[in-house]
């Protein structure tokens, strides 16, 4: 039973990740308005692919349409093969200014923002050569459906 539940949770986000984009687009009726992924240290140019040996961490930011509620957000990071690599949980979301924009040029909406970091340097990503197109899918803790669109990014050697 647990294996079936895990399979459903991992397979559900694979139904339609957005092709070649770093920032997920808003989905009507969803709580999370966007997910943004940026390399640390910041890249000097806007890019959709980053060299893993130059990236220490990835900063993942989820924006919410509403300031209502304070449920933690789970950001499920999927490998290029579609497997769950890691679930990152942000316990609280800080208020977001109405005019803030994401570092990649996307606009956030008034509400809340949760930010987490995914280590890259010295992890299984670089040690095992997990290169290719990754996805990040946002969920509110305890929900079976994503609360917004996935974002994707590409890591190359």
Kindly report the CATH number assigned to the domain that includes residue 46.
2.60.40.1930
DSSP string for 58-92: EEEEEEES-------EEEEEE-TTS-EEEEEEES-
Q: Give the residue from 150, 151, 154, 118 showing the smallest Cα distance to 133.
A: 154
Tokens of residue 94, six digits: 């800080």
Whether the predicted pLDDT of 49 surpasses 50: yes
Q: Which domain holds residue 141?
A: 2-156
d(Cα 127, Cα 134) in Å, to the nearest integer? Answer: 16
Residue-level pLDDT at 56: 94
Alpha-carbon distance of 128 to 113, in angstroms, equals 32
Q: Is the pLDDT at 15 greater than 80, yes or no?
A: no
In the chain, how many domains are there? 1
Report yes or no on whether pTM surpasses 0.85.
no
Residue 134: pLDDT band with limits 50, 70, 90: very high
d(CA 6, CA 86): 13
Determine the 3-state secondary structure of 119 from DSSP: strand
73-125 residue pLDDT tens: 899 999 999 999 999 998 655 665 554 444 444 444 456 788 999 999 999 99
* 131, 155 Cβ separation under 8 angstroms: yes
In angstroms, the Cα distances linking 24 to 77, 144, 149 are: 14, 19, 5
Residue 124: which of 103, 93, 155, 96 has the closest Cα? 155
């Amino acid at each position: 039973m647990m294996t079936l539940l895990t399979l459903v949770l991992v397979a559900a986000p694979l139904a339609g990740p957005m092709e070649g984009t770093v920032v997920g687009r808003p989905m009507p009726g969803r709580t999370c308005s966007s997910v943004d992924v940026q390399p640390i240290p910041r890249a000097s140019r806007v890019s959709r692919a980053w060299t893993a040996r130059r990236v220490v961490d990835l900063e993942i930011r989820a924006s919410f349409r509403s300031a209502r509620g304070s449920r933690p957000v789970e950001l499920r990071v999927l490998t290029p093969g579609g497997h769950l690599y890691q679930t990152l949980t942000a316990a609280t979301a800080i208020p977001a200014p109405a005019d803030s924009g994401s570092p990649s040029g996307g606009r956030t909406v008034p509400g809340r923002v949760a930010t987490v970091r995914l280590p890259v340097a010295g992890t299984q990503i670089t040690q095992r050569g997990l290169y290719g197109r990754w996805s990040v899918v946002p969920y509110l803790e305890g929900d079976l459906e994503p609360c917004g669109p996935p974002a994707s990014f590409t890591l190359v050697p």
